[in-house]
Amino acid sequence: MVNNLKVNDINDIDVDQNINIINDFSIQVATPNGSGSQTSNLVLLRSLFKMGIPSSGKNLFPSNIQGMPTWYTIRCSQEGYVARRDSIQIMVLMNPETALQDINNIQSGGVCLYPKSAKYNFDREDITYYPMPVKRLAKESGVSSALRPYVSNMVYVGVLASVLSIDLLEIESALSWHFKGRQKLVDTNMPVIQAAFDWSRENLTKTDRFQVERTNSTDGTIMVDGNFAAALGAIYGGVTVMAWYPITPSTSLADSLTEYARLLRHDAEGHATYSIIQAEDELAAAGMIMGAGWAGARAMTATSGPGISLMSEFAGFGYYAEIPAVIWDVQRVGPSTGLPTRVSQGDLTACYWSSHGDTEHICLLPGNVAECFEFGWRAFDIAEQYQTPVFVLSDLDLGMNNWMTKPFNYPDKPMNRGKVLTADQVNENGFKRYFDLDGDGIPYRTLPGTVANGASYFTRGSGHDESAKYSEDPLDYATNMSRLRRKIDSSRETIPAPIVEHNKTASIGFVGFGSTDPAIIEARDRLAVIGVASSYLRIRALPASLTVSDFIASHERVYVVEMNIEGQLHKLIQIQSPELATKVLSLAHCDGLPLTASYIVSEILEQERGPNGKIKD
């Protein structure tokens, strides 16, 4: 059975049997960028989610404000899978420019919705067509011509609601939620949806077999994007200075932070307990958080690849001069401008070793939105505990797309402000900035403004001794660098530990990090069904826990799954455990799209097939 399996079997929904397909399909909406379809798509997604159907939405958008093609994909999965899936069952063609290609992406047996007026010459006979009177309904809505493109997009919402049986009440409350309760906007859009729904009930004969049914599978969950989660985490982590420079896909993190800090972080007189600065560039954003972290603030920035490159000199400074700060990297495809609106995990080594000279930075690797929240606050504790810049690597898919999650847990630990001496402590015991008093590599610091004899010190990126005095002494340099090495090493088992699912019967294992998690989960399930058992370890921070080595040692082969070209994590693991290097295989893939389970499954089947065509034991 295994040997005959084709990728499509995994990819597609089984439509051959003559039964209805409930809560298990993908809808794709193709529109020109900037045509205002985002509201319609998010309303659809939220209605499905509120009907209890596990759903996820992914926006595939161009680096452009208006005109270039955009695709929004909603996947419904009763089994709860939220990774991207290649095959599309229901396609809404709102973009004439791409319609003739888009139609080919519909799985046989699927559905095609399109505006009647488009007069396409489609020749596929294996799908169902539902032409929609978009122009007429938009016109009849009576809205001004400026608003017409927006309400036009409401037509497909109404038609889909009718075709798939989406509850109109859920659509109305999703609209209201989306417009933050502004009834006027609801009243502009809802009648168009209703009209499209009614038209469709009267004029369309349903010949497809896709349908939704209310369940309770999403009870107790919320739907948010990772950038919102990260921003909220930072607010509950007590961020005081945030400096940033706009760059996709990190901008919405700063936007959410601005929006929610305004609500949550003012004193009784309305004064802010934080500052958010839009800096002139990432060089300045990095300088600001260095200055702020040095002075004792909980300082952070959010950026993406090009910003990471610009910040690297300060990252090295912060490592060497031991300054706490948090740097969020919402990754996109590089090098250079790369694919600025597409996802990758290509900045791992750039962050881990950011700067010239020898550095190794603590990197946190959230794999879901709940962890974006958690690491949002924990990153400050770690940065202040270890007195060093901490990178948090999210990515475009995790950061900008919507994900189901359990509500976030309130921080379960008090803030850890690290080893900061008060004036009294300095007066009593004296103070040497870089002296390893406790033997853990972490020195004590004082904050500027501490009035005590000997409290002040000179922070510099040049060579220094234990007292922070300028030094070119070879021994001072070597001692200091090896203490820094020890300090970072000592974080290995205290920063977020890997999540391990050890399957005793499995000879292969997966190692991954970040937003590939849903694809790996789904791939393992599908592999298990066809008799390939696997274990899974998800790394949540670097430097990596030694658990990773144990995991590799206890499997025959371990595949390191990641969305980049070079297999960056794979190489890091080989460096960390050279004795296990031949047991780890790289499964690195990056084309700008979120990873799919079918990719992983087909790669594994390919690699695991022995010379006789049989899957290895």
Partner 1 sequence: MGKSRINTNLIGLEKQDYKGSPTTLCAGCGHNSISSQIITAAFELGLQPEQVIKISGIGCSSKSPAYFMNRSFAFNSVHGRMPSVASGAMLANRNLVTIGISGDGDTGSIGLGQFKHAMRRNTPMIYIVENNGVYGLTKGQFSVTADEGQNLKYYGKNDLPPLDLCLEAIVADCGFVARSFAGDPKQVRPLLKAAISYDGAALLDIISPCVAFNNTSDSTKGYDWVKEHDDPLHDITYIPIQEEVTTQYDPGDTSTVTLHDGSQILLRKLDESYDPTDKLGAIQALQSANNEESLLTGLIYYDPNRPNLIQSENLVESPLVQLTTDALRPNEESLSQIMSNL
Interface ranges with partner 1 (CB under 8 A): 222-224, 232, 235-238, 240-241, 243, 260, 264-265, 267, 270-275, 277, 279-281, 283-299, 313-314, 317, 407-408, 410-411, 414-415, 447-452, 455-462, 470
The residue among 49 and 150 lying less far from partner 1, judged by its C-beta, is 49
In the complex, what is the shortest distance from the CB of residue 362 to partner 1, in angstroms, rounded to a whole number?
A: 20
Minimum CB distance to partner 1, residue 415 (Å): 5
Tokens 């397909």 label which residue? 21
The C-alpha atoms of residue 464 and residue 483 are separated, in whole angstroms, by 13
Tell me phi and psi for residue 510, to 5 degrees.
-110, 140
Instruction: Write the CB contacts of 494 (distance below 8 Å, at least 6 apart in sequence).
Output: none
- Cβ-based nearer residue to partner 1, 267 or 579: 267
Q: Give the residue with the Cβ less far from partner 1, 100 or 272.
A: 272
Q: Min. distance of Cβ 413 from partner 1 in angstroms?
A: 11
Place of tokens 């693991």: 573
Q: Which is nearer to partner 1, 114 or 319 (CB)?
A: 319
Instruction: Return the number of the residue (317 or 434) whose C-beta is nearest partner 1.
Output: 317
Burial grade of 287 (CB within 10 A; 0-12, 13-18, 19 or more): middle
Q: From the CB of residue 124, how many other CB atoms can be counted at a distance below 10 Å? A: 12
Give min distance, CB of 334 to partner 1, in A. Answer: 23
Residue tagged 């389970």 (tokens): 597
- Please identify, using beta-carbon distances, which residue of 460 and 609 lies nearer to partner 1: 460
What is the rounded distance in angstroms from the CA atom of residue 203 to the CA atom of residue 197? Answer: 10
Residue closer to partner 1 (CB basis): 221 or 503: 221
Provide the minimum distance between the beta carbon of 224 and partner 1 in the complex, in angstroms, as a whole number: 6
CA dihedral of residues 32, 35, 36, 42 (deg, nearest 10): -10
The amino acid at 12? D
**DSSP-assigned states of every residue in 236-271:** HTT--EEEE---TTTHHHHHHHHHHHHHHSB-TTS-
Whose Cβ is closer to partner 1: residue 208's or residue 381's? 381
Q: Which is nearer to partner 1, 88 or 468 (CB)?
A: 468
Q: Where are the beta strands (DSSP E) in 312-377?
A: 325-331, 362-364
For the bound state, the minimum distance from the C-beta of residue 220 to partner 1, rounded and expressed in Å, comes to: 10
Q: How far is the CB of 241 from partner 1 (least distance, A)?
A: 5
- Cα atoms found within 13 Å of the Cα of residue 345, Cβ hemisphere only: 30
Least distance to partner 1, CB of residue 375, Å = 16
Which C-beta is closer to partner 1: that of 127 or that of 297? 297
Least separation in angstroms between CB 225 and partner 1: 11
User: Which helix H or strand E contains 223, and what residues bound it?
Assistant: strand 222-225
Q: Which residue has the tokens 């030694």?
A: 546
CB of 309 to partner 1, least distance (A): 15
Q: How far is the CB of 49 from partner 1 (least distance, A)?
A: 11
- Comparison of 285 and 563: residue with beta carbon closer to partner 1: 285
For residue 421, report the phi and psi dihedrals to the nearest 5 degrees: -90, 140
Give Cβ neighbours of residue 406 (< 8 Å, ≥ 6 apart).
220, 221, 222, 370
Question: Helices 168-178 & 183-203, crossing angle to 10 degrees?
Answer: 150
Are 92 and 17 spatial neighbours (Cβ–Cβ below 8 Å)?
Answer: no
SS3 call for 335: coil
**Residue 58 bridge partners (DSSP):** 73
Helix axes 37-50, 148-164, angle to 10 degrees: 30
